[in-house]
Amino acid sequence: MHQGLVTALLWLGFGGTHVGLTVAPIRKRLVRALGEGGYVLLYSVVAIGTFSALVHYVALHRFEAPHGSLIASLPPVRGALLALSVFGFTLFIAAVLGYPRAPMAVFRHRALPVRGIQQITRHPFFSGIALWAAAHALLALSSVTFVFFFGVIVLSFVGGMHQDRRLIAELGEPYRSYVAATSFWPLVAVATKRQKIQWLEQPWIGYALGIVVSLGLYQVHDHIFDHGGAYVIGVTSLGSIMAILGSRARRGSTRAEHDV
């Protein structure tokens, strides 16, 4: 139980700063002091640092305080959860690849017509990782891993909702209409007939890559947290940096087009 509590506290450190630094009064004060680029750099350093500490602790203690999982012992349920994990991770990968074009991309906030993956979920990054984490939490065999994946679910949902509120305040009615026409959880807007999937607009390459990466990770699943979580920390940090740089480069090209 002690390890689970420490994991929860580390999650509070990461989640609290991750959301707290984006609260409007705090963000505006930091942007005034550091500039937009300086704020993003500070935010990234804090996020990577706190996330690295969390992952490192989980990697070192993931086999402690074990508990049985009835769900993990039922092949049909386990198979369904593994399929949910692949589905969520596929959305996540497609979201990362398409992040610079998303309405909430760093440096490029704007409301756009609903297209592609946003017809399925307006937050493929958050909702995809939440579904992936939900499957892993139900299959977790220790309190440390359960708390870790449960924290991913909570932060993903809170992060998505906080982002929506911030962008409604920033962009007004256009983004409010975007939220009304879409859903956080995948396919809910489709099921409630607020949205219709346009199959030709879907990022099929991203989906295919997500499935391939998921199957590849399954082959090395037991070693992902080896070496103190270095693999997870490295890939997550690099992905975050690339997404920010891609978003900034896209904003620069858009400005250049407007100046022509």
**Cβ-contact 121, 91 below 8 angstroms:** yes
**Cβ-contact 160, 186 below 8 angstroms:** no
Whether residue 122 has pLDDT greater than 90: yes
Query: In the structure, what pLDDT confidence band is assigned to residue 256 with cuts at 50, 70 and 90?
Result: very low
pLDDT at 257: 41
Range of the domain at 46: 2-259
Number of folded domains in the chain? 1
Integer Cα distance of 240 and 166 in angstroms = 20
Integer Cα distance of 152 and 132 in angstroms = 9
Whether residue 34 has pLDDT greater than 80: yes
Query: In the structure, what pLDDT confidence band is assigned to residue 254 with cuts at 50, 70 and 90?
Result: very low
Which residues make Cβ contacts (< 8 Å) with residue 113, sequence separation at least 6?
none
**Cβ-contact 89, 214 below 8 angstroms:** yes
Of all residues in the chain, the percent with pLDDT exceeding 70 is 88
Q: H/E/C letters for each residue in the chain?
A: CHHHHHHHHHHHHHHHHHHHCCCHHHHHHHHHHHHHHHHHHHHHHHHHHHHHHHHHHHHHHCCCCECCCCHHHCHHHHHHHHHHHHHHHHHHHHHHHHHHHCCCCCCCCCCCCCCHHHHCCCCHHHHHHHHHHHHHHHHCCEHHHHHHHHHHHHHHHHHHHHHHHHHHHHHCHHHHHHHHCCCCCCCHHHHCCCCCCCHHHCCHHHHHHHHHHHHHHHHCHHHCCHHHHHHHHHHHHHHHHHHHHHHHHHHHHHHHHHHC
Integer Cα distance of 260 and 257 in angstroms = 5
Whether residue 58 has pLDDT greater than 90: yes
Average pLDDT over residues 81-86: 94
pTM of the prediction?
Answer: 0.82
Tokens 């958050």 appear where?
126
